[in-house]
Amino acid sequence: MLPMQPSERAAPRLWAVALALVLLYLWQLGAAPLFDVDEGAFSEATRELLSSGDWGHTTLNGTDRFDKPILVYWLQAASMAVFGVNEWATRLPSALCVLASTWAAGRFAARRWGQPTGALAALVLGSGLGLLSIGRASTADGLLNALLVAISLSLWQFAESGARKPLRWAYFWCGLGLLAKGPVAVIVPGGALVLWSLFSDRGRTALRAAWEPLGWLIALAVALPWYLYALNRHGQAFIDGFFLKHNVERFSGTLEGHGGGFAYYLVVLPLLLLPWSPLLVAVLARARELWREPLARFLLIWAGFVFLLFSASGTKLPHYMLYGVAPLALLMARQLGAIGRFGRAALWSALALQLALAAALPTLLPALAPQVKDVWVRGLFETAPGAGWLPLWTGLAAVLALAALLLRRFDFGQRYGAAVLAVALLWVGAVIPWLSDTLQGPFKAAGVWASGRSETMVQWRMHQPSFAYYRGIPTPQRDPAAGELALVKRHRLGDFPYPHEVVFEQRGLLLVRRLTEPQP
């Protein structure tokens, strides 16, 4: 397929996509309660950092937290310091990072294949269900994904031209990546470049990239001070907690029950790419032809390396595969103009499926409740809040998507992109807030009720960091002393060994006051 050429309307199209994505990511950003465990943990750890004034280390419910390096907490704390302690502020850095990655991918594609393809690449990357999710979550993944895009595209610019400037930028981004999530920020882009170089020029490019003394100095100057500080402050506890548990053990074993077979990401990847998933089939069908092009080969290796790396990992989470979505989005955007009638029908079917799921969720979850084994989740499904305005929003999105389909004066990419944005706005504006309220509403309500109260509170046999965030005070996991309040799930109340009184209840979540010592 020949590269798409720029047109007079190309540059405005790229800017129009960028503005549409800004609206998509910032609208209703704070409407959904925080999701536990990850969002609650990152947000509460950041709140504790901001409250303590100790910007060198994070704690969660007063206990040292070594899960991730410091950079994402700095960004979230800065946002909270400016905009207040709220969901919008704590999620804002993730949204901005994902927006930056879509812009970088769009500009990269535009310079090589024309501005229309660049605009499409930004839209494919930014409106896919997976990246849209991490861009609205207060975790480190949006930040890491943006840095992986920056590192990888800079490495390609070096491989393409031999210029040292983009290579040194790659080292700088690697330094930030080490501060964002650790070694994975070097392993993914470095592994992709090494494999590409071995296939393309017997490793010469990789060797030239590795022999860059100034680059190493830049990366170490960015990342090393904090690592030395953490090591000096915590010693072996930092090594055990960060390097061994959350890096080595996460890859070699299954942490927190997040396992899966080698084919795990074969199922996950099409879901992350919705509603653009059919384009992945078109790309894979041309993989042998694409392999002959140096840039396309690099993009395929980047995505394939991520797939193989995390498929081999003992711990599997859906968002790990998102680190390989950017190269696929670039290839998929380039492929859109070449698909036939069947491919276009498949795309419209994927979008219709996403729209139908949004419409069905308020009915589907209560209907599925009897089949759910987890007693707590089953209760949440059974007591899901009413759909409210969700049916109206769904109908409006369907009308807008249909109108886009009928606008024949625009090309297929423009019409489908407009329809995708309409459905994506439905998800971020109505579906995700409703789903989060269904699953997390009781914890926010309990935390808000508990905020400002003077009693000591604990979590009994649960780990819900969002409760502490909304309460505004660390809330440890332990048994309550006499007179203390305990956060308890009703279905576990029969095992609660102390006399108590219920002081708060919502949808099966209780706050109970322990009255006396346990009876013999």
The C-alpha angle with vertex 256 and arms to 253 and 261, in degrees rounded to 5, equals 55
Query: Is residue 365 helix, strand or coil?
Result: helix
pLDDT digits (tens, 9 = 90+) for 193-232: 999 999 999 999 999 999 999 999 999 999 999 999 999 9
Whole-number Å distance between alpha carbons of 15 and 287: 30
Instruction: Tell me what percent of the residues of the chain surpass a pLDDT of 70.
Output: 93
Residue 348's alpha-carbon distances to 49, 335, 398, in angstroms, are 46, 16, 12
The whole-number pLDDT of residue 254 equals 52
Structure tokens given for 428: 């971020």
Question: Treating both helix axes as pointing N-terminal to C-terminal, what angle do 141-161 and 71-83 enclose, rounded to 10 degrees?
Answer: 120
CB-count burial class (<10 Å; 0-12, 13-18, 19+) for 294:
middle
Contact 470, 444 (CB under 8 A): yes
Q: Model-level pTM?
A: 0.92
Q: For 292, list phi and psi in degrees, rounded to 5.
A: -75, -20
Whole-number Å distance between alpha carbons of 121 and 107: 9
Question: Which residue type occupies 300?
Answer: L
CB-count burial class (<10 Å; 0-12, 13-18, 19+) for 23:
exposed
The C-alpha angle with vertex 70 and arms to 243 and 304, in degrees rounded to 5, equals 60
Residue 374 CB contacts under 8 Å (≥ 6 apart), including other chains: none
For range 74-81, the mean pLDDT: 97
DSSP secondary structure string, 398-443? HHHHHHHHH-TTS-HHHHHHHHHHHHHHHIIIIIHHHHHHHHHHHH
Structure tokens given for 28: 């209703």
Neighbours of 341 (CB within 10 A): 7
Instruction: Tell me what percent of the residues of the chain surpass a pLDDT of 90.
Output: 75
pLDDT digits (tens, 9 = 90+) for 376-429: 999 999 999 988 888 888 898 899 888 988 887 888 888 999 999 999 999 999
- What is the rounded average pLDDT for all residues in the chain? 90
pLDDT for residue 10 is more than 50: no
Least confident residue range of 247-261, 283-297, 356-370, 463-477: 247-261
For range 29-50, the mean pLDDT: 94
The whole-number pLDDT of residue 517 equals 66
Structure tokens given for 139: 């975790």
Of 469, 178, 125, the C-alpha closest to 331 is 125
pLDDT digits (tens, 9 = 90+) for 291-315: 999 999 999 999 999 999 888 877 7
Place of tokens 């390097």: 243
pLDDT for residue 252 is more than 80: no
Least confident residue range of 3-7, 60-64, 90-94, 310-314: 3-7
The whole-number pLDDT of residue 51 equals 94
pLDDT for residue 1 is more than 60: no
Contact 155, 193 (CB under 8 A): yes
Contact 130, 267 (CB under 8 A): no
Q: b/e map of 249-270 (b: 16 or more CB within 10 Å)?
A: ebbeeebeeeebeeebbeebbb
Q: b/e map of 181-220 (b: 16 or more CB within 10 Å)?
A: bbebbbbbbbbbbbbbbeebeeeebbebbeebeebeebbe
DSSP secondary structure string, 236-269? HHHIIIIIIIIIIIHHHS--TT----TTHHHHHH
For range 318-333, the mean pLDDT: 93
For range 271-300, the mean pLDDT: 94
Contact 477, 62 (CB under 8 A): no
Least confident residue range of 73-82, 112-121, 311-320, 429-438: 311-320
93 alpha-carbon distance from chain centroid: 12
Contact 459, 60 (CB under 8 A): no
Least confident residue range of 217-226, 327-336, 359-368: 359-368
Place of tokens 């099966």: 508
Whole-number Å distance between alpha carbons of 344 and 84: 45
The whole-number pLDDT of residue 4 equals 40
What is the band of 456 on the pLDDT scale with cuts at 50, 70, 90?
Answer: very high
For range 485-494, the mean pLDDT: 94
pLDDT digits (tens, 9 = 90+) for 131-189: 999 999 999 999 999 999 999 999 999 999 999 999 999 999 999 999 999 899 999 99
Contact 108, 150 (CB under 8 A): no
Of residues 13 and 378, more confidently modeled: 378
pLDDT for residue 3 is more than 70: no
Contact 477, 459 (CB under 8 A): yes
CA atoms within 13 A on the CB side of 388: 11
Structure tokens given for 90: 């704590």
pLDDT for residue 257 is more than 70: no
The whole-number pLDDT of residue 7 equals 43
- Roughly how many angstroms between the first and final C-alpha of the chain, as a whole number? 80
Contact 279, 328 (CB under 8 A): no
pLDDT for residue 5 is more than 90: no
What is the band of 281 on the pLDDT scale with cuts at 50, 70, 90?
Answer: very high
pLDDT for residue 9 is more than 50: no
510 beta partners: 488, 505
Q: b/e map of 91-127 (b: 16 or more CB within 10 Å)?
A: bbbbbbbbbbbbbbbbbbbbebbbbbbbbbbbbbbbb
Least confident residue range of 7-11, 29-33, 129-133: 7-11
The whole-number pLDDT of residue 249 equals 63
The whole-number pLDDT of residue 248 equals 66
